[in-house]
Structure 1
Amino acid sequence: MKKMKTIEITLVSMFVVLIAIGANITSIIPFLVVGGVPITLQTFFAVLSGLILGSRLGAIATSVYAFMGLVGLPVFARFSGGFGSIISPTFGFILSFILAAYVGGKIVANKKTVTPYIIAAFVGTFINYFIGTNWMYFAYKFWADAPEGFTYGMAWLWMLPPLPKDIILAAVAGVFAHKMRVTVLTKGQFKNINLSA
């Protein structure tokens, strides 16, 4: 692995913390629960890490986050953690963050306009939903206690309540990441970071 610079380690660490905060934002701000559905910012920050940091650093940040949770640090939703999380029906969403960040970063590499950033954010969100929902389905079918009458269609129906929120946040992530890349990250120390990798 390419040796990381101090500024890169700092940015990766910042996104690890942001994803952890995003996972538990409703514990900090309880009113972010609408109709019983928590408005978490996990996916938002995971996708944002790839768009802002690039595919390599974004994938590192999301991998570090997943690793920290698996070794027992309470960084997952509801301040959970531990290796047992790997058999959780929702662990696929956490795994998806790595691919979502990587693919998103690849899409926006060397792009100057905002459109590719918005597209990349939607692609990253789709990856999150696809991997997470399929993992949840297979978890309930093979090793977790599935609700009575559980089907593949039901798994996708469960994803409908948070979908509008994630569509809006994906658009916000794309616009915000583009703004950051063409302004802040083109100045000072940030100019020495290879964000296209």
Structure 2
Amino acid sequence: MPINLALLAVFAAGGMLSAAEAVFAVLLFLALGGAGLPVFAGFNAGLGALAGPTGGYLIGYLPAAFLAGVFCKERRSFARYALGMLLGLAACYILGTAWFVISAKAEIWHALSICVFPFLPGDAVKIALAAFLSLKVRKALACRAQK
């Protein structure tokens, strides 16, 4: 399972855009990668990357972006942003791990031990960073719009 910053971008999109715009941004990313542009972790690309054992995590970026976008729409606080991103991460993990278990014919605990548990600390940092940056960018844009 490769380490990358894609979830940071997904959460930032959800934090700075509407839910629909964030989902569209992720769809564009998936379409570019599916069409062969090497945008996935490890410079992978193509439909094989989407359909492979870790493809479910890529598809899981869609509900992650949506949930982050929904929660970041109202009541702009770090806790609310982080909660939306945490729920998005859970959706991504559920979809991706289920996909991995089915496609790799793996046991659930084995899948969790290689696909989820090692990434929890880094993903927590990505959530904190995305929530912080999203709040700062939205605040800066709101101040600029008032001038």
Q: How does the TM-score come out when normalised to structure 1?
A: 0.68
Q: Which runs of 5+ in 1 are unaligned?
A: 1-36, 142-149, 192-197
Unmatched runs of 5 consecutive residues or more in structure 2: none
Report Cα offsets for 1:23-70 as digits up to 9, x if no partner.
Answer: xxxxxxxxxxxxxx8541111111211111120110000000001111
| Structure 2 residue corresponding to 1:156, chosen from 112, 122, 144 | 112
Secondary structure of the 2:60 match is helix
Identity of aligned residues (%): 26
Query: In the alignment, does 2:48 pair up with 1:81?
Result: no
Q: Quick check: 1:114–1:175 contact (8 Å CA) kept in 2? A: yes
Q: Residue by residue, what CA displacement relative to the aligned partner does 1:133-172 show, whole Å, maximum 9, x if unpaired?
A: 111111112xxxxxxxx41111011121121111122122
Q: Which has the larger radius of gyration?
A: 1
Q: Which amino acid aligns with 1:154?
A: H
Whether contact under 8 Å (2:14, 2:69) holds in the other structure is yes
Corresponding position: 1:72 with 2:36: yes
2:115 is aligned with 1:168: no
Q: Offset at 1:112?
A: 2.7
Structure 2 counterpart of 1:157, which letter?
S
* 1:183 maps onto 2:147 in alignment: no
2: distance between equivalents of 1:163 and 1:112? 24
Q: Relative contact order: is structure 1 or structure 2 higher (C-alpha 8 Å, sep ≥ 6)?
A: 2
Report the aligned-residue RMSD: 1.8
Stretches of 4+ moved more than 6 A in 1? Answer: none
| 2:77 aligned residue | 113
The residue aligned with 2:23 is: 59
Report the TM-score, using the length of structure 2 for normalisation: 0.89
